[in-house]
Amino acid sequence: MAKNVIVGQSGGPTAVINASLAGVYETAKALGADTVYGMRYGVQGLLAGKVVALDDYLADPLQLELLQRTPSSFLGSCRFKLPDVTVQPEIYRQLFDVLERLDIGCFFYIGGNDSMDTICKLSDYARDIHSPIRFVGVPKTIDNDLEATDHTPGYGSAAKYIATVTKEVIRDSLVYDLQSVTVLEIMGRNAGWLAASAALAKGPDCEGVDFIYLPEAPFEVEDFLQQVALRQRSKSNVVVAVSEGIRTGSGTYVAELGAQLGPQDAFGHKILTGTARYLAEQVSSRLGTKARAIEFSTLQRCGSHMASRVDSTEAHAAGAAAVRAAYEGHTGEMICLVRRSSLPYQCVTHPVDIHAIANREKKVPAEWIAGGCGVTEDLLAYMRPLVQGELQPIQVQGLPRHIFLS
């Protein structure tokens, strides 16, 4: 086998995507890789020849500790859908030229649905041209929407962040002896896994949120206002969690109901922020109650100061398992997390054919959604192990220390 390996990160970042990178790097070195290359800005950067030798940055084990505590994607990322080989074969030739020039034996890609599509296409192409290069995917997404894996690295830390700040906001919401409604806006365009994690806030020291609305269940503004009004009869301060992607029965995003729908983002996706703001305005004007919107925003994916130890460990293990699988001859696969048991929580890695994963989307099952506005005990039992333990930041002068690629 060729002596070098290459690794890239793709799609939106998470708090633990760099733990997977650390797992790839450490394991590849341990198994005898000569140079471990990193793609700058994913496959898009690779096409432009942008690669770095990771030994220059990660040789000192302290750097690996910092890497696992650094949010966002150390190597940079891209949102790039590899065109079909029948449409643009030259891109494939160009990529394989770069890989052969770098003497690459294994190619690892840490990402979500689109990234697994890249692994699928590249491994298929390698088989067709009888290239010995092996392609293995490492799952990553806060959205938890990948098929075949019990959950995705990145989700547990986002869920821990959401549950923690939800607890804090609930305490904050009770401070005045007034009626109030707080609407929390949580990421999730099509899948409600993240919004569901707000349910973890409930416990002996916290009354929890009153309602949770997921994109999997149709949302009607009138029903919502009725539910809130009814709850306010028994409770002064109502706290509601909504997915940014909730839409009405007719398919309109609630965010679109607001007058000021933002522009499309750089990748042509509609920007969905404004859901909570619109609902808070409705509560305020229609129910006459003080209402505020809180967008958890980008911190859900980059709040590495609140990373879950379980999540970080699994992210590292997924990266490590990808390298081991490739060295054992696997290709065209993604490392999945297989939950053996929830109580006690035990989880192992297992490689799965990439064709069963790419371009699919795993949503919250209907039987885990309670009455259209809450989650069931089964869903709580599924989520709870994933937020356990902390990966303490390395604090320097009072702030978490990171590393970065200059």
The number of beta carbons lying within 10 Å of the beta carbon of residue 102 is: 18
Q: Which range, of 20-28, 103-111, 119-127, 197-205, touches its own copies by CB under 8 A? A: 197-205
Nearer to its own copies, 357 or 391 (CB): 391
Q: Which is nearer to its own copies, 85 or 380 (CB)?
A: 380
335, with CB counted inside 10 A (0-12, 13-18, 19+), is buried
Binding to its own copies in span 32-51, by CB under 8 A:
40-41, 44-45
Q: Is 301 in the site for its own copies (CB under 8 A)?
A: yes
Q: Are 315 and 21 in contact (CB under 8 A)?
A: no
Q: Is 87 in the site for its own copies (CB under 8 A)?
A: no
Q: How far is the CB of 354 from its own copies (least distance, A)?
A: 24
Should residue 343 be labelled a site residue for its own copies when binding is judged by CB under 8 A? no
Query: In angstroms, what is the minimal distance from the CB of 54 to its own copies?
Result: 17
CA-based nearest residue to 187, from 129, 127, 112, 136: 112
Alpha carbon 59 to its chain's center: 27
Burial class (CB in 10 A: 0-12, 13-18, 19+), 390: middle
Does the active-site annotation cover 143?
A: yes
**Please, what's the b/e burial string for 53-78 (b: 16 or more CB within 10 A of its CB; e: otherwise)?**
ebeebbeeeebbebbbbbbbbbbbbb
One residue of 192, 245, 303, 332 binding its own copies per CB under 8 A: 303
Using only the alpha carbons of the chain, give its radius of gyration.
Answer: 22
Segment contacting its own copies by CB under 8 A, of 87-95, 339-347, 357-365, 390-398 = 390-398
Q: Which long-range contacts (CB under 8 A, 24 or more apart) does 339-345 make?
A: 339/150, 339/151, 342/381, 342/382, 342/385, 343/381, 345/310, 345/385, 345/388
Query: Which residue in this structure is represented by tokens 């650094």?
Result: 70
Stretch that binds its own copies, among 91-99, 132-140, 142-150, 398-406 (CB under 8 A): 398-406
Question: Rounded to whole angstroms, what are the CA distances from 144 to 66, 137, 148, 366?
Answer: 25, 15, 11, 16
Q: Which of 102, 110, 169, 183 binds its own copies (CB under 8 A)?
A: 169
187 neighbors 301 (Cβ within 8 angstroms): yes
**Residue 167 interacting with its own copies (CB under 8 A):** yes
Asked if residue 84 binds its own copies (CB under 8 A), the reply is no
Q: Which residues pair with 336 in a beta bridge?
A: 350
Q: Which of 232, 282, 304, 349 binds its own copies (CB under 8 A)?
A: 304
**105 contacts its own copies (rule: CB under 8 A):** no
Stretch that binds its own copies, among 77-85, 214-222, 325-333, 370-378 (CB under 8 A): 77-85
- In angstroms, give the least distance from the CB of 367 to its own copies: 24
- Residue 353 CA to its chain's centroid (Å): 21
Nearer to its own copies, 4 or 10 (CB): 10
What minimum distance in Å lies between the beta carbon of 181 and its own copies? Answer: 12
- Which lies closer to its own copies via its Cβ, residue 90 or residue 205? 205
Size of the site for its own copies (CB under 8 A): 72
Nearest distance from C-beta of residue 371 to its own copies, angstroms: 24
Check binding of 121 to its own copies (CB under 8 A): no
Residues 114, 143, 210, 311: which is the catalytic one? Answer: 143
Residue 401 lies near its own copies (rule: CB under 8 A): yes
320 phi and psi angles, rounded to 5 deg: -65, -40
Q: How far apart (Å, rounded) are the C-alpha atoms in residues 274 and 262?
A: 8
Main-chain dihedrals φ then ψ at residue 123, nearest 5 degrees: -70, -35
Instruction: Answer yes or no whether residue 302 interacts with its own copies by CB under 8 A.
Output: yes
214 or 391: CB nearest its own copies: 391
Q: For its own copies, which is the closer residue by CB, 68 or 73?
A: 73
Contact pattern for its own copies over residues 205 through 244, marking x by CB under 8 A: xx--------------------------------------
**Which residue in 284, 286, 363, 376 binds its own copies (CB under 8 A)?**
284
Distance CA 315, CA 69 (A): 12
Q: How far apart are CB 158 and its own copies at their closest, in Å? A: 13
Rounded Cα gap, residues 162 and 15, in angstroms: 13
Q: Give the separation between CA 178 and CA 236, rounded to whole angstroms.
A: 7
* Residues noted as catalytic: 143
